[in-house]
Structure 1
């Protein structure tokens, strides 16, 4: 069993029965195993990581010109407009002699537009997995300060304490990360 299978298996065994959307970079193992446990789940390629993959093929002196082009794709009103914008930018990149960057954009654009299938109010929150990465970075920062732990339980307690703090301060009743009633309304409209 690989760690990707283990990841989803643990979630499933702990009672998570439904995932509507999984957001990640293009980690092939996670994408391949997702349908085994959550066949109804859609996959969203993290827009930030997608842009990073493209920019790795762009020389540093041209990045300042390319970055706004990439951002313009995901600022469109709908997926159709975003695809059209992406095709136009592929042509621009090829004209700039950035064929490999254009190829990555053309081949991966649909993977980065899944969020358009969800309510508009959620788009900002589900385009990337940066929130989760920010939380993990904060936990890593806190654990590095401590250095070594007497046992695994103490490290887990520190991580859980930080997660509890984030949940009570950032995701309290007054400030929600996402209003799930919008998703429920969309589901009702689709079944009606």
Structure 2
């Protein structure tokens, strides 16, 4: 893989190809301002386009000093369809990044032992995967990224070349567009809009 140029935003390392989308998504999470996050391209992430995880070297550190990776697949193959990060619309990338930042919001309150237990449950329980993915979507929506999360869902669910089984997996594990809109409406009502 060729060397990627990256832009460092204080304690964030972001490849040039996605710096704009990362900046927009990060701007919705002021709580992560002092959290080290490194966005890295990776050759292959199974069943996913992006994946958030704590840096193993910092797992035993104080929760407030822990750093994280957001791994991004340069290409994702879903059945016979191959997507390159450059082919994904900007608002969809913002939604995906916002979702992964939602995972980091969840992780940052967990102890090292709880993070390890989280990993075990995530790998072994479909119900736990659903709970974790819906929580990350909820964090993103609650941080003002609802329209981007909907764009991401629309991109996946309305893509003609993706199989019904893959679309069913997305529908089963993540919030639906209707659930996202209900959260957005609730937030708007709370804010008096």
TM range (shorter): under 0.3
Higher share of residues assigned helix: 1
TM-score (norm 2): 0.27
The structure whose Rg is larger is 1
Query: Larger % of strand: which?
Result: 2
TM-score norm. by structure 1 comes to 0.27
